């Protein structure tokens, strides 16, 4: 297993899971995001996607392949937390479909649930999640 910088060729043969679409994958080509690729057994298994939206605040998401396993997820979890530290982020947030399988996943990754956006994208409910670094300085205040 390894995680490395994304290249366009990584899209070849990637099969998104049931929570992603080909449009989500195409979004990787816009250049608006930092993208890393997880490779397992010489195949692309996940994309780790993130962007800075204000100061030390970042947002991101994961695109996982069909059949993604918990074994592979341990590497992504470690990478995510190291990236947050390396970026000096005080906040890393994401939004995802409000379904039990994804809720369990986000809790396992270390995200705290921050609320629900009803009828958000394609008339579906989305959860808001974040990892917030406690005690970090933000605008002169301790969070």
pLDDT for residue 141: 42
Mean pLDDT calculated for residue range 57-67 = 94
| pLDDT exceeds 70 at position 69 | yes
pTM equals 0.86
| pLDDT exceeds 50 at position 111 | yes
Q: Which CATH architecture has domain 2-142?
A: 3-Layer(aba) Sandwich (3.40)
pLDDT for residue 115: 97
- Distance between CA atoms of residues 42 and 98, nearest Å: 32
The SS3 assignment for 107 reads helix
| pLDDT exceeds 60 at position 98 | yes
């Amino acid at each position: 297993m390894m995680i490395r910088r994304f290249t366009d060729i990584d899209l070849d043969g990637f099969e998104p899971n049931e929570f992603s679409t080909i449009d989500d994958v195409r979004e990787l080509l816009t250049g608006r995001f930092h993208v890393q690729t997880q490779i397992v057994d010489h195949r692309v298994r996940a994309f780790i996607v993130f962007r800075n939206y204000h100061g030390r605040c970042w947002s991101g998401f994961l695109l996982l392949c069909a059949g993604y396993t918990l074994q592979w997820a341990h590497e992504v979890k470690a990478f995510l937390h190291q990236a947050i530290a390396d970026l000096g982020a005080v906040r890393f947030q994401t939004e995802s479909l409000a379904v039990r399988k994804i809720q369990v996943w986000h809790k396992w990754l270390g995200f705290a649930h921050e609320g629900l956006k009803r009828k958000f994208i394609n008339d579906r409910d989305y959860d808001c999640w974040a990892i917030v670094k406690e005690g970090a300085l933000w605008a002169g205040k301790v969070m």
